Structure 1
């Protein structure tokens, strides 16, 4: 076993040295990179989720002035859940809705070797997706590649050609990643031209984690709130809404417990939970609702593309999460003038919500405290409307044009930095990246 590991490690080191040599040759020949072409790597562009929605939102903005392509690693649905913005192309590396050749079928039987098992999407990736992703990255000539989750960040940092401007992006908080993922992050993220977090708290965490080998730029750019159909809420409907995948992190088990107290005081109010999960997760949550005697008062609405209308028809938005990367749905609710009641969990809610101005933050993890805060908004009409007005003002600060302009500045700055060496004594050399192999240490 030990000898097999040594052989694999030696083979990996040899492969990485070969890649480094190839990169050096490409760097000597490569022209200075520009930012007119942007490719954004997504796990599943046709799926449902906050990352997908916000990435497509950004892609639509960038496509106003740039050539933008969303590269989806897998495709498991024939039609997109969210509309694709005008001017944005979508391509797929592993289209699982269409017949595949014998090589693809064979390699798809084996798990990914480039993505650590502890990364949450590892189960959805295969040796074939590894081949497709590396082949696509190595065939890229210039422009910008933006990767959007650790699995894609780790592969992009390792295999992106030297002439390509690379930007890593994170949509969940650093602390939730497994130790092995964090180890690889510390080793590889320093190869990015820029790394972008959504929250100030994560910016601080990544600054510390990457102190030994930082990327060229490390900065925070929050998500922009997308335009949603439907008007501003009148805040008179006896409806509360929660949105999210039916997973442990979203804390819907705690929300059902909290709503039992709310329903006892206000039996005419209903809680609608929008989101999908596994059959087992949905069955567990439905059983919890029935056991709490809340059938008909807590309704699982499933996934919906009409989030705007759902929020416009509500009077309170409730966040029961155990942690949030940013909390895009919070901003979406605020854009409809809906006050938000949220646990002050790490890290997004506290950076978006100003307690008493546009919502209420609950510092404890107690469902009873969450219930009391929801009841306060229900029972105080003047407070509800004042918080709703504050929510509209807060959402305006995350307007797509304002956030998109920050991305424009970043892309232009990185492009200018890449052109700077072209004015030096070596005009045809792309800016070098840190070496893949340092001494005898395998970079992960």
Structure 2
């Protein structure tokens, strides 16, 4: 139910209006996805674990995915074989990987006639040193690497030992949510995301203790689930913030919740390009965010549509929130500008950039295959199919 899944569904749904699109899920552990599947998009599961009978190969760890990959625990020897069989079985089209482990496997086993694209949904510096070494060695075998931010694009330009055919930056598109524009009248601050160490909610709760001392009638609502829920609740209780900081759990569509809030806050220690900032902006919310690597500084213009705070600074975060609580005029000005900023990341705008990127790769590949002679007829047919 994370941000990567939302962006994958967004892009798949847009591309499915003109192309044949399939989402390939490595594992399946629930009957239906958390988010609704976009119209026209198929989902294929390689390792269906619903029957709870995983088989002998599932007892052995993956040999292809590095231990530093955040999703390492999902992969087994069984998923290795399923992935190899699926990827090697492709004979045409474009294959997009959505995390380092999958991208590295693509770089090893994808047939040459498949166009391979690695998406970076986080940032290069957020990966462990051994994983970064493998990325530097192998990503050059792929046709394209696409980052979310210019900062991360530059990091990849410096790191890759050999360049893929295309190294580009395309941001995420903002999700179209239910609910209207926020009137910015509710005494509510909102945060949305998985309850993990990376999201920094421990820092936010400590900051809110200072906010609550000055403005006890305001409430912080945190939406999301995750492994740190009990620790965060203990921190809330310890600081006597019960009723002032609420862990709300997860909701499929946060649009209505954003529309009933007046300030959005992001307390992450690191990010890729946090789509939730754009979602908040699309509701006219001003955003207070740590200036963590990477993403917030590329979305927020400090003092224009939000406020940026030095990373992990408790008092600075509390002061920035209090500034927007105190100054309603500033809150409304930043919110109006945020609404304009979000429009630049509309799905139609970002989708057009992906279409241009894909068509460019297909044309270039077709030209290469034509030059090679025997494969020319196949390349022309694939180019025609892409069009």
Aligned partners of 1:425 and 1:60: how far apart in 2? 35
Specify the SS of the correspondent of 2:246: strand
Moved over 6 A (4+): none
- Which string of whole-angstrom CA distances, capped at 9 and with x for unpartnered residues, describes residues 104-152 of structure 1? 5100001111001111111111100001011000111110000000011
1:366 maps to: 313
Q: SS in structure 2 opposite 1:108?
A: helix
**Residue among 221, 224, 228 paired with 1:272:** 221
Structure 1 vs Structure 2 CA RMSD: 1.2
Q: 2:59 aligns to what SS in structure 1? A: coil
Task: Say yes or no: does 1:121 pair with 2:71.
Answer: yes
- Structure 2 residue runs of 5 or longer lacking an equivalent are 380-387
- The whole-number CA distance in structure 1 between the counterparts of 2:273 and 2:122 is 7
* Correspondent of 2:139 among 168, 189, 202: 189
Q: Which residue of 2 aligns with 1:299?
A: 246
In the TM superposition, residue 357 of structure 1 has moved relative to its aligned partner by 1.0
Residue 375 of structure 2, aligned match among 428, 432, 440: 428
From 181, 184, 187, the counterpart of 1:235: 184
Q: Does 1:386 align with 2:350?
A: no
Instruction: Describe the shift of the 1:126–1:262 C-alpha distance in structure 2 as closer, same or farther (beyond 3 A).
Output: same
For 1:76-155, what aligned pairs fall within 5 Å after superposition? 76-98=29-51, 100=53, 105-155=55-105
* Cα distance in 1 between the residues matched to 2:172 and 2:57: 36
Shift of 1:99: 5.6
TM-score scaled by structure 2?
A: 0.96
The CA deviation at 1:424 is 2.4
Q: Secondary structure in 2 aligned to 1:93?
A: strand
Q: CA deviation at 1:251?
A: 0.6
Per the alignment, do residues 181 and 422 of structure 1 end up closer, same or farther by CA in structure 2, a change over 3 Å counting? closer
Aligned to 1:70: 23
Q: Are 1:162 and 2:109 matched, yes or no?
A: no
Provide the C-alpha distance between the structure 2 equivalents of 1:349 and 1:165, rounded to a whole number of angstroms: 31
State the match for 1:253 in structure 2.
202
- Deviation by residue 1:306-365 (Cα, 9 ceiling, x = unmatched): 311111110000011111111110000000101000111111100000011110011253
Find the structure with the greater CA-based Rg: 1
Instruction: Report if the CA contact (8 A) 2:269-2:311 is conserved.
Output: no
2:285 to 326, 331, 338: 338
Structure 1 residue runs of 5 or longer lacking an equivalent are 1-47, 432-444
Could you list the per-position Cα deviations for residues 166-215 of structure 1 after superposition, in whole angstroms to 9, with x for gaps in the alignment?
A: 000011111111111011101110011110000111000000001x3111
The alignment's TM-score, normalised by the length of structure 1, stands at 0.84
State the partner residue of 1:216: 165
> Counterparts of 1:81 and 1:425 in 2: how far apart (Å)?
46
Q: Does 2:360 correspond to 1:413? A: yes
**Cα shift at 1:76:** 1.1
Deviations 1:262-291 (A, max 9, x none): 11111111100011112xx11110000000
Counterpart-to-counterpart distance in 2, 1:362 and 1:232: 25
Q: 2-side partners of 1:365 and 1:127: how far apart?
A: 39
The superposition leaves residues 76-124 of structure 1 with CA deviations (integer Å, 9 ceiling, x where unpaired) of 1111111111011111001111365xxx510000111100111111111
Deviation at 1:422, TM superposition (A): 3.8
| Distance change >3 Å, CA 306–CA 421, structure 1 → 2 | closer
- The answer to whether residue 342 in structure 2 is matched with residue 395 in structure 1 is yes
How many residues of Structure 1 are paired with residues of Structure 2 in the alignment?
A: 378
In structure 2, how many angstroms separate the alpha carbons of the residues matched to 1:319 and 1:373? 12
